[in-house]
Chain A
Amino acid sequence: DSGVTQTPKHLITATGQRVTLRCSPRSGDLSVYWYQQSLDQGLQFLIQYYNGEERAKGNILERFSAQQFPDLHSELNLSSLELGDSALYFCASSGLASHEQYFGPGTRLTVT
């Protein structure tokens, strides 16, 4: 158990809908990262937050957004969903050492 929690575990929704994925980092970790894992693209970095502020952006679509709250949990919002958004979404957290990221169990999103 990494100490990172994610909800929900599974999510099935229709195209055009909007969903919110939630992540709670390990106790004491200030950084939260979101990654998307699909069969053809592997693990892709989406966005990083540090202590409530956006720190880095990767290949995140404009339809996707995220935020980190004062209690350090984070939410990833995916809107206008398309079939191609079906994937596993992982949250990771770290302390100051970004090379030591601990991953949550993921949310499997299926868009039908």
Chain B
Amino acid sequence: GESVGLHLPTLSVQEGDNSIINCAYSNSASDYFIWYKQESGKGPQFIIDIRSNMDKRQGQRVTVLLNKTVKHLSLQIAATQPGDSAVYFCAALNYGGSQGNLIFGKGTKLSVKP
């Protein structure tokens, strides 16, 4: 079956530095890839998504890069702030196969040092 995985379970960065969180996926038929942020005691919060026919998408302080050749995507956070500390999940969605449910990776815990 389809799987989505993250390369590193934890990441520690200095405040003000850029963060890069990586994710690999197995199903090349995935239509969308989505990044979620989950703070302690809260539900996952939508950050940004990218359609499979795109290579890059930018949001506010975040950029998602998609490399379909190696089935890899990354989330880049610019000028990381203490409020960015959370667990980050990548998820994949295949409209054709799954009718819209998300397949989540295990998550990377981002810690921001002041």
Residues of A participating in the B interface, judged by any CB pair closer than 8 Å: 2, 4, 31, 33, 35, 42-45, 48, 55-56, 58, 90, 92, 94, 98-106
A101 to B43, CA, bound (A): 11
- A56-B99, A56-B100, A94-B100 known; A101 vs B107 contact (CB < 8 Å): no
Q: Is the CB of A99 within 8 A of B45?
A: no
Contact at B101–A100, with CB atoms within 8 Å?
A: no
- Bound together, the chains give a CA A100 to CA B93 distance in angstroms of 10
- Complex Cα distance, B47 from A2, in Å, reads 12
Say whether B31 contacts A58, CB under 8 Å.
Answer: no
Q: In the bound complex, what is the Cα–Cα distance between A104 and B34 (angstroms)?
A: 17
| A100 in contact with B100 (CB, 8 Å) | no
Docked-complex contact A105 and B42, CB < 8 angstroms: yes
The reply on B53 being an interface residue by CB < 8 A is no
B89 engages A43 (CB within 8 Å):
yes
Residues of chain B whose beta carbon lies under 8 Å from any beta carbon of chain A: 31-32, 34, 36, 42-46, 49, 89, 91, 93, 95, 98-107
Whether B104 pairs with A90 at a CB distance below 8 angstroms is: no
B93 — nearest CB in chain A belongs to which residue?
Answer: A99
Contact B31 A43 (CB under 8 A): no
Q: A42-B106, A56-B99, A58-B101 are in contact. Are A106 and B43 (CB under 8 A)?
A: yes
For the complex, give the distance between the alpha carbons of A92 and B46 in Å. Answer: 11
B95 cross-chain contacts in A, Cβ below 8 A: 98
Q: Could you tell me if B43 and A103 are in contact, using CB atoms closer than 8 angstroms?
A: yes
A48 close to B31 (CB less than 8 A):
no
The smallest beta-carbon distance between B23 and chain A, in angstroms, is: 13
Of the candidates B32, B44, B102, which one forms a contact with A45 in the assembled complex, judged by CB atoms under 8 Å apart? B102
For the complex, give the distance between the alpha carbons of A102 and B42 in Å: 12
Nearest A residue to B98, CB-CB: A56
Complex formed: what's the CA distance from A45 to B104 in Å?
A: 9
Beta-carbon contact of B106 and A98 below 8 Å: no
How near does chain B come to A9, taking the closest CB pair, in angstroms? 10
In the bound complex, do residue B46 and residue A31 qualify as a contact, i.e. CB atoms below 8 Å apart?
no
Q: Is the CB of B102 within 8 A of A102?
A: no
